Structure 1
Amino acid sequence: MKENVYQTACGPIHYWRKVSDLNAPTLAFLPGLTADHRLFDKQIAFFEGKFNLFTWDAPGHASSWPFRLDFDLFDKARWLEEIFTLEKITKPILVGQSMGGYVGQAYAQLYPDRLAGFVSIDSAPLQRRYVTGVELWLLKRMEPVYFYYPWKALLKSGTNGVATSEYGRRLMREMMMVYDGDQKRYAQLAGHGFRILAQAMEKDLPYEIRCPALLICGKQDHAGSCIRYNKAWHKNTGIPLQWIDGAGHNSNTDKPEIINSLLEDFVMTILRNAEEIPTETP
C-alpha cells in the first residue's frame, strides 16, 4: 500500500492506495472513531492482488494530524470524494466500520450515483428516526467523559469493550496508544466525532442507500445499541444482515476470515450482476 497525503484547509489527510487492476473495483475501507487504517490489516492482506484497495486515517486521527476539528460528517464525505477524484477511483465499494459506516452514508447522500456497493460493519443507520432524543443529547456531551475518565481504565475498557479476540484487543490497544500522554486530544477527537454524528442525524435526511448493500454485526457487539439498530435497519430496508458469532464491535478483527469471505462474495455478486446487465444496441 502506497501512502499519500491530501491537504485540506483543516489539515492533512493520510491515505493508502494499492492498484491491482485499473478495471477492477476499489474496496475503500473506512475505520471507526479513534481507530486508524490498521483496523483493516487482515482485509488488506486478504484482498491484495484481487481488487484495488484504499484506506485512510480519518481526519484528525493518527497520522492525519494536526487537524482543526471544526468540520462535520459531510466535510469528511466531500474530502473522500476529492481524494477519489484525484486518484481516479470510480464506483468505489465503501466498507465502513462503526463511524466509517456513517461516513459512507453521508457520502451516499451527497453522491448517490457514485457507489458500486456499501458494507456496514458494526455501524448503524444515520436516519433520525432510529435514535431517541436522549441518545442525541448524550452524543453531544461525550468529550468530558473521555477527558476525566482515568486513562488506564479507559484503555482497558476501550480495548476489551470493542473486541473479543486477543488480536482484536491488542490491535485496538495499539491504536489507542497513539494518544497515550495526550488524553485531551483523544477526548476532543472522540467528543467531536460523536457531536458531528448527532448533528448529521438531526438533519433528518433520507440517507438512502441506492447501491447493493450489506449489513454485518457481531453478536457480542455491546457498543451502544448497535444490535438493536441493525435489527431495525434490516427490518425497515430489507438490506441483508449477517450476524457474526463470537464477534464484538470490531468484528472484522475478531472474525477476519468470515468477514473476508462475506466481502468477497458481496463483491463477486456485484461483478456478476454488472455482467448480466444487457447493453443497448443502436
Structure 2
Amino acid sequence: MQEKIHHTTQGSIHYWTDACAPGPMTLVLLPGLTADHRLFDRQIEAFRGRWRLLAWDPPGHGASRPFALTFGLADKARWLHAILEQEGVSRFCLVGQSMGGYVAQSFLQQFPGQAAGFISIDSAPLGRRYTTAAELWMLRRCEPVYRLYPWQALRQAGASGCARSIYGQALMRHMMDGYTHSEYAALAGHGFRMLADAIASDLPYPIDCPALLLCGSRDQAASTRRYNRAWAKTTGLPLVWVPHAGHNSNTDNPAFVNQQIDAFVRRL
C-alpha cells in the first residue's frame, strides 16, 4: 500500500492505495470517528492483490493532521470524491464503518449512480426519521463530557465500548494514543456535531446501489442495533449480524466480515 496525499485548503488528507492491484473493482475503506486506516488492517491483509484497495485517514484523524475542524459531512464526501478522481477510480464499493458509513451515505446523496456498491459496518441511516430530537440534542453536546472524563478512563472506555476482542480493543487504544486528551475530545465533539447537522438537514440520502448492512451482535454503541433493525425494515436492505462482535465488528470477527464482503463484491 502506497501512502499518498490530497491537499485541501483546510489541511492535507493522507490515504493509502495499491494502484498496481488488479481491477476493475476498488474497495474504498472508510474508518469510523477517531479511528484511522489501521482499523481495516485485517481487510487489507485478506483482499490485497485481489481487488484494488483505498483506505484513508479521515480529515483530522491519524496522519491527516493538522486539519481545521470546520468542515461538514458533505465536505468529507466531496474530498473523497476528489481523491477517487485523482486516482482514476471508476468502479468502486464504499465500505464504511460507523462514521465511515455516514460519509458513504453523504457520498451517495451528492454523487448518485457512481458507486457500484455500499457496505455499512456498524453504521446507521442518516435519514431524519430514525433519530429522536433528544438524540440530536445529545450529539451536539458530547465534547464537554469527553473533556471532563479522565483520559486513562476514557481511553479504556473507548476501547471496550468499541470492541469485544483483545485485538480490537488493543488496536483502538493504539489509535487513541495518537491523540492528546484535548485533541481527542475536540475531534469526537466535532464529529458528533457534524453528524447531527447532516441528520437535521433532512436530506433523502437514497441508497441507489446494491447495499449490505453488517452489525455486531453485541454492538453496545448508542442505539446502533436499533437503528440497523429499523433501517433494514424500512428499506428492505439485507442485514447480517456479525457473531461475537461489538461496534468495530470488522476487528472483532474479521473472518466473518471478510467472508461477507467477499461474497457481496463478487455479486457486483
Task: Calculate the TM-score normalised by the size of structure 1.
Answer: 0.94
Which residue matches 2:263? Answer: 265
Measure the CA separation in 2 of the matches of 1:22 and 1:245.
31
Which residue matches 1:210? Answer: 208
Match of 1:194 among 192, 195, 209: 192
Where 1:15 maps in the other structure, the secondary structure is strand
The aligned length equals 268
Deviation, 1:92, is 1.5
Which residue matches 1:278? Answer: none
Measure the CA separation in 2 of the matches of 1:212 and 1:90.
16
Measure the CA separation in 2 of the matches of 1:23 and 1:16.
16
Measure the CA separation in 2 of the matches of 1:92 and 1:167.
29
AA in 2 matched with 1:236 = T
Q: Deviations over 1:226-280 (max 9, x none)?
A: 000000000000000000111000000000000000000000011xxxxxxxxxx
Measure the CA separation in 1 of the matches of 2:226 and 2:194.
21
AA in 2 matched with 1:241 = L
Which residue matches 1:30? Answer: 30
Deviation, 1:117, is 0.3
Which residue matches 1:245? Answer: 243
Where 2:162 maps in the other structure, the secondary structure is coil
Deviation, 1:183, is 1.0
1:82-93 counterparts in 2 under 5 A? Answer: 82-93=82-93
Measure the CA separation in 2 of the matches of 1:43 and 1:22.
16
CA contact (8 A) 1:215 1:241 kept: yes
CA contact (8 A) 1:32 1:99 kept: yes
Which residue matches 2:252? Answer: 254
Deviation, 1:19, is 2.5
Which residue matches 2:227? Answer: 229
How large is the RMSD of aligned CA atoms in angstroms?
Answer: 0.8
Q: Taking every aligned residue pair, what percent have the same amino acid on both sides?
A: 56
1:64-213 counterparts in 2 under 5 A? Answer: 64-179=64-179, 182-213=180-211
Deviation, 1:20, is 4.2
Asked if 1:54 is matched to 2:58, the reply is no
Measure the CA separation in 2 of the matches of 1:226 and 1:14.
28
Deviation, 1:98, is 0.2
Measure the CA separation in 1 of the matches of 2:208 and 2:75.
21
Where 2:185 maps in the other structure, the secondary structure is helix
Measure the CA separation in 1 of the matches of 2:95 and 2:20.
18
Deviation, 1:173, is 0.6
Where 1:23 maps in the other structure, the secondary structure is coil
Task: Calculate the TM-score normalised by the size of structure 2.
Answer: 0.99
Measure the CA separation in 1 of the matches of 2:135 and 2:191.
14
Where 1:114 maps in the other structure, the secondary structure is coil
Where 1:3 maps in the other structure, the secondary structure is strand
Deviation, 1:151, is 0.4
Deviation, 1:22, is 5.5
CA contact (8 A) 1:93 1:115 kept: yes
The unaligned stretches of length 5 or more in structure 2 are: none
AA in 2 matched with 1:254 = D
AA in 1 matched with 2:41 = D
CA contact (8 A) 1:20 1:51 kept: no
Where 2:91 maps in the other structure, the secondary structure is coil
Pick the structure with greater CA Rg: 1
Where 1:242 maps in the other structure, the secondary structure is strand
Deviation, 1:112, is 1.0
AA in 1 matched with 2:160 = N
The unaligned stretches of length 5 or more in structure 1 are: 271-282
CA contact (8 A) 2:21 2:48 kept: no
